[in-house]
Chain A
Amino acid sequence: MEALFHVATFYVFAAFALAGAAISAFSRRLVYCVFALLLTFLGVAGLYVLLSADFLAAVQVLLYAGGILVLLIFGVMLTHEIADVSTEANFTDIKFGAVISGILWLLLVVYICKVPWAVLDPLPPYAPTTRAIGLQFLGDYLVPFEYSSFVLLLVVLGAATLARKEVD
């Protein structure tokens, strides 16, 4: 019973994520694209929970659905007349792009099917991960962690420099 519930939840979240992704990558209406992205982010967050990553699921909701999506909506509003119905997003030469992406995707599928993935059997039980991740950050990953905070500082400065108004 529990396994069935797990499988059903997996397919629901996967359908959410993939449908949202398809709409946001292929819709002609820019506003639809942005809001379908919310569906994807929430679906992926649900998959994270099923993968026993509770902390990352929360971060996904806070950072993607809360932060990045709001930034993107600001981007749409700053660069388009939002009341204008023609906020459409056209396609480039679709054949070329479709062929290249199809080839890349096929390569990916072939290699995923070819590699014999090692699976722990039985899988470890669900456990909270927040404390363990924090210990990793202060242990093995201390230098990358500090470095990423430096990167974020540079990003703030860079974004402010790029987007500021030129004043003579």
Chain B
Amino acid sequence: MPAPLEYLAVSCILFGIGIAGVLTRRNLLVILMSIELMLNSANLAFLTFSRLHGQLHGQVIAIFVMTVAAAEAAIGLAIVVALFRQTGSVRIDEATRLRG
């Protein structure tokens, strides 16, 4: 079995890619996908700790994280569609008006 540090390393790299995606991309859909990557890496860390301690609490928390991820995807995509109707684009640098 690979050492726990290796699972944490994968989780850490995944999180780093997610942060970089959120901070450098301009398309709102890609930003949403990067947030999903970050939530996935958090789940991976939870499961690693759950395995290391021989307890199930980490797995239960991971299910709540998945609930939040599903909620985020649904609301985020609704916002993307609404934004596209208003501005005809999903680029965040064109979404400059607060009121549609």
Which residues of A are in contact with B by a Cβ distance under 8 Å? 3, 6-7, 10, 14, 17-18, 21-22, 24-26, 30, 33-34, 37, 40-41, 44, 47-48, 50-53, 55-56, 59-60, 63-64, 67-68, 71-72, 74-76, 78-80, 89-92, 94, 96-98, 100-101, 104-105, 108-109, 112, 117-120, 123-124, 129, 132-133, 136-137, 140-141, 144, 148, 151-152, 155-156, 158-160, 162-163
Which residues of B are in contact with A by a Cβ distance under 8 Å? 1-2, 4-10, 12-27, 29-30, 32-34, 36-37, 40, 43-44, 47-48, 50-54, 56-57, 59-60, 62-64, 66-71, 73-75, 77-82, 84, 90-93
Instruction: Given A18-B17, A119-B4, decide whether A159 and B29 contact each other with a Cβ distance below 8 A.
Output: no
Q: List 7 A-B contacts (CB under 8 A).
A: A24-B33, A25-B20, A48-B47, A59-B66, A75-B29, A108-B16, A141-B60
Whole-angstrom distance between the alpha carbons of A95 and B84 in the complex?
27
The answer, among B2, B48, B56, B59, for a CB contact under 8 Å with A7, is B2
Residue on B with the closest CB to A111? B12
The answer, among B17, B59, B91, for a CB contact under 8 Å with A129, is B59
Contact A101 B20 (CB under 8 A): yes
Contact A159 B74 (CB under 8 A): yes
Total of A-B residue pairs, C-beta within 8 Å = 229
Which residues of the other chain, B, contact A155 by a CB distance below 8 angstroms? 70-71, 74-75
Which residues of the other chain, A, contact B24 by a CB distance below 8 angstroms? 91-92, 94, 97-98, 101
Contact B20 A51 (CB under 8 A): no
Contact A120 B77 (CB under 8 A): no
By secondary structure, the B interface counts as helix
The answer, among B26, B52, B53, B79, for a CB contact under 8 Å with A92, is B26
Whole-angstrom distance between the alpha carbons of A55 and B5 in the complex?
23
Q: How far is the CB of B84 from chain A (nearest CB, A)?
A: 4
Q: How far is the CB of A140 from chain B (nearest CB, A)?
A: 8
The answer, among A44, A60, A89, A119, for a CB contact under 8 Å with B30, is A89
Which residues of the other chain, A, contact B10 by a CB distance below 8 angstroms? 14, 17-18, 47
